[in-house]
């Protein structure tokens, strides 16, 4: 069952990610939650980090999350205080489709990630598992569990010692002892909790079940109300049972957490995992949209909870707009650089291909003089751009590129193959990308040349500058407003990301990428 990874992918993941100097250069650009005075301010992982699943493993915490169409997928993070997080790598490189809400667990010394994936807008859907004996890998190839009707599997071990997967809609199914097969057929066990009809939500959408054993009870914490839609839609609810098989009793204080007004700093808060701190305090990690910035995607939020004498838990973080007392534990260096000199021997951990082919990594060549990317397709939509997660409401990035004859290179804000904005060039002429469309429709092969592109996204207002020498800059004559480049407009639950692309018949060499947060 061990994985047979493409050797080039494996080298990129196992060689680490980033030089120490590059780490130091990039770290100041991260939005850091730890305020340095014993408090923290959300988000704990800024930018697009949706559906976080966290595992407590001794004094260590590990986290993974939805990666959707980005590969390598299932990014792994490590923390010792739930606030400061470091990247460990990724658990999957084989493209099985858009990866949704995973569950990271440890059982009898082995790590497992259960996750759903779907190919295409109306394509096939299934649930998978990958496993590893070391959290840093190597991870197995994905094992198809089936269960095409369901999303968001949550692993549990019952009072009988058997393993189970809880699924969307209140169903569950037994797993084999090795956790790699389904035993029997799913059964319905939980009808959820119904919110008042007067509330503005997207849809009922009972999903994301996470099972926690606390005392003599099993707690099933789920999300209802829809992930996007109105800011007041998403929420956290819980129910408990003495047995993994039910019956499940809803908490009297449901919903545990919910955005009640669009004036709050965080919208659509939900999809929680419960975790115990090293000092015995308890927490929820879940996601939410920053007020006014659906474009940044769903960001990871940390909220304290307290257990009541009756055995329920209550949220204690309010609307998360103020600093909160930190969990105890060792504070590791936080985040990873977004800037990249492209002078290493592997792709940095900040980069991921959008919807890559199995051999996508073969397009890349590494050298001291930059990252060379062979052209693919004709436009961003069919070129599998390299993307990075923006962490700030206002930022700019610039990149230097050498465009070979016949190729087109460009810099973008990329949401999906349907929606993106930016500029490309064949070395002589420019092509404008706006609304996921091109003007002109396509560039003819050009002579190539050296080009710098700078893209500034200042709270949805996008300006672009270009330069032939990195010194004298020319403002591109078209500016854009991109506040609508998000899920509520284009679907797919993604985020607007800085991106680089190489199209056409030649190659593009990227020599320097610099990301800078703006005030």
> Residue 126 pairs with which residues in a beta bridge?
117
Distance set, CA 147 to CA 117, 119, 187, 280 (Å) = 11, 15, 12, 36
Q: Is 517 exposed, middle or buried (0-12, 13-18, 19+ CB in 10 A)?
A: middle
DSSP string computed for 50-111: -S-EEEEETTEEEEE---BTEESEEEEEEESSSSS-EEEEEEE-S--SEE---EEEEETTEE
Residue 408 phi, psi (nearest 5):
-130, 130
3-state helix, strand, coil in the chain (%, to 5): 5, 45, 50
- What tokens were used for 494? 């993604």
Cα angle for residues 189, 193, 195 (degrees, 5° grid): 160
Cβ burial 179-200 (10 Å sphere, 16+ → b, else e): beeeeeebeebbebbebeeeee
From the list 422, 466, 471, 104, the residue with the least C-alpha distance to 285 is: 104
Centre a 10 Å sphere on the Cβ of residue 491 and count the other Cβ atoms it contains.
13
Torsion angle in degrees (nearest 10) through CA of 332, 333, 336, 341: -140
Check: CB of residue 517 under 8 Å from CB of residue 29. Answer: yes
Residues designated catalytic:
51, 207
Exposure class string for 337-348: b at 16+ Cβ within 10 A, else e: bbbbbbebebbb
| CA–CA gap between residue 130 and residue 141 (Å, rounded) | 6
- Is cis: bond before 274, omega within 30 of 0? no
Residue 367: both structure tokens together: 């050298």
CA-based nearest residue to 203, from 223, 180, 187: 223
| CA–CA gap between residue 73 and residue 360 (Å, rounded) | 14
The length of the chain in residues reads 519
């Amino acid at each position: 069952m061990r994985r047979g990874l493409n050797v080039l992918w494996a080298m990129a993941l196992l060689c680490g990610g980033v030089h120490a100097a590059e780490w130091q250069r990039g770290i100041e650009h991260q939005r850091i939650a730890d305020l340095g005075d014993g408090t923290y301010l959300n988000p704990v992982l800024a930018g697009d980090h949706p559906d976080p699943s966290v595992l407590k493993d001794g004094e260590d915490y590990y986290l993974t999350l939805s990666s959707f169409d980005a590969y390598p997928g299932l990014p792994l993070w490590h923390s010792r205080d739930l606030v400061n997080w470091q990247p460990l790598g990724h658990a999957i490189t084989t493209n099985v489709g858009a990866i949704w809400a995973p569950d990271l667990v440890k059982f009898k010394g082995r790590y497992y990630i259960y996750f759903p994936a779907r190919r295409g807008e109306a394509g096939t859907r299934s649930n998978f598992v990958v496993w590893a004996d070391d959290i840093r890998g190597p991870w197995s190839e994905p094992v198809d569990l089936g269960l095409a009707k369901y999303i968001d599997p949550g692993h549990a071990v019952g009072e009988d010692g058997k393993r189970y997967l809880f699924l969307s809609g209140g169903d569950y199914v037994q797993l084999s002892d090795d956790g790699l097969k389904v035993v029997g057929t799913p059964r319905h066990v939980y009808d959820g909790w119904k919110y008042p009809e007067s509330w503005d939500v997207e849809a009922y959408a009972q999903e994301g079940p996470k099972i926690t054993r606390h005392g003599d009870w099993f707690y099933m914490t789920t999300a209802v109300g829809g992930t996007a839609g109105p800011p007041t839609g998403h929420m956290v609810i819980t129910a408990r049972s003495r047995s993994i098989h039910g019956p499940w009793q809803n908490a009297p204080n449901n919903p545990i957490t919910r955005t009640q007004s669009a004036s709050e700093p965080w919208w659509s808060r939900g999809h929680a995992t419960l975790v115990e701190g090293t000092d015995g305090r308890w927490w929820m990690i879940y996601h939410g949209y920053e007020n006014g910035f659906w474009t940044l995607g769903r960001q990871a939020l940390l909220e304290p909870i307290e257990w009541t004498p009756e055995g329920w838990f209550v949220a204690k973080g309010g609307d998360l707009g103020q600093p909160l007392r930190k969990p105890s534990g060792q504070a590791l260096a936080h985040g990873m650089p977004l800037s990249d000199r492209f002078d290493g021997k592997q792709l940095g951990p900040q980069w991921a291909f959008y919807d890559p082919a199995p051999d996508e990594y073969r397009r890349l060549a590494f050298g001291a003089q930059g990252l060379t990317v062979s052209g693919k397709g004709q436009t961003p939509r069919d070129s599998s751009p390299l993307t990075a997660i923006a962490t700030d409401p206002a930022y700019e990035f610039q990149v230097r590129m050498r465009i070979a004859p016949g190729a087109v290179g460009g810099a973008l804000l990329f949401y999906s193959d349907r929606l993106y904005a930016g500029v490309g060039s064949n070395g002589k002429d420019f092509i404008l990308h706006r609304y996921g469309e091109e003007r002109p429709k396509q560039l003819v092969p050009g002579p190539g040349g050296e080009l710098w592109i700078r893209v500034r996204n200042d709270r949805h207002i996008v300006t672009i500058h270009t330069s032939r020498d990195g010194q004298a800059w020319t403002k591109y004559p078209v500016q854009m407003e991109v506040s609508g480049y998000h899920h509520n407009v284009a679907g797919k639950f993604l985020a607007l990301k800085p991106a680089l692309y190489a199209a056409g018949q030649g190659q593009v060499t990227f020599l320097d990428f610099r990301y800078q947060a703006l005030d």
